Chains A and B, each alone.
Chain A
Amino acid sequence: MSIVETKTEARPKPGRALPFAKAVGRFLVAAVTTYLGLLAVTFFIGRVVPIDPVLAILGDRAPAHVVERVRREMGFDLPLYQQFYIYLKGILAGDFGTSVLTTNPVMVDIKRVFPATIELATLGTIIGSVIGVPLGVLAAVKRGSFADQIVRVIGLIGYSVPIFWLSLISLVIFYAKLRWVAFPGRIDIVFEYSFTPVTGFYLLDSAMQGQWDVFYDVFRHIILPASLLGYFSLAYISRMTRSFMLNELSQEYVVAARAKGLSETRVIWGHALRNAAVPLVTVIALSYAGLLEGSVLTETVFSWPGIGLYITNSLQNADMNAVLGGTIVIGTVFIGINLLSDLLYRTLDPRTRTR
């Protein structure tokens, strides 16, 4: 993706603010079509996968008559379009079906696994942007310097090293050797029954309940996977920040600002970064949304009970209700985050504000 492309894509054309109602209507139509498409594609892919879903439910040992009975019970003997119709009807009634693997209603499962992923992704994104943006700015300001090269190498490594490998290596270093962090899972078993999560965000829950020893334990569990995810978003964010900043720094207003004697700090952080921030918001939002899908490999290595692991596991077992439910939730999050970054745009970029 070149810088120019991102920029033109990222900035809505000024002066074309739609009347509110029309905008909402348009958004709804787009959202509904997106959802339908998403569901249809996932559903049909899930059904043409060469895995017998009954096999996933019953295992290899079930006698023939049980297999046939379950096939009927689950409606797998009906034509595909009919199965899809039945599924859609269920969703409209708020019934996302039951997961075969966990036997819970899909939404109950997702309520349990999604907060784990959100917590991890949020912390990861915070780490990624708090470090990535300044690094990108630094690299742009000192273009071609040693610092710039370093930032680029950091970015390159983040881009190209497999996260699975890096996760294990960092576990060996920070967990096994240095013992700075805790592992596995989200919380030590000592606290398993003295701590009751309310929201599912353990950091938040433990802080709200004033259980600081739990908070510390949760922090020690989350910091390594979050840093790793942070590192990967950092790689992307710093690279994009560098590009946006380079672009801004070559603009005439920067020359003007310098000419009127503003300090370099103000020129860079106050003027150039402010302008670069507009497309940057999209970049950060997209990388956040990417992390929210759940990083399957990170979750596997760290035994993190998140949505990535949940959906992958379900997919491998042809547990379609769970896969579809997860897809809907992630789709919603994507659409939501896109909308949110659009809104942020309006506050950051005066030209897109309606008068």
Chain B
Amino acid sequence: MALYENIFIARQDLTTSQVDSLVDRFSSIVTAQGGQVTKKEYWGLRNLAYPIKKNKKGHYVLFNLDAPPAAILEMERNMGLSEDLLRHLTIKVEELETEPSAMMQSRNREYSREGSFKPRSENADSEMEINPIDSGENS
């Protein structure tokens, strides 16, 4: 079976539970055709670099797939039909990443930076300082 990466962007006004149901739906399509979803990553509601269908934000989801081409075709077809999706991209890869992708790692890096800041501020107020920084960098 071939290895694929798939990313799709869901509409901004969906709730996270709706996104979860989408994830379940697409992964069940793949598994039904004899494929495997080796990794699922939810990147959260991210700002889009440019508006797509009047959306400024989107829920990003990453799949790592090990599936036959027929399963990918069926999943892509369903993604195209779904009105909740803004974009989807499937790429054939040589190797699947087992670790969290660059997107998740960069988020962790931010956390680790905060960790290094914490000892300096010492007091309980540090939490108050950290939160605005966090939201600013994510947006």
Do A and B share a complex? no
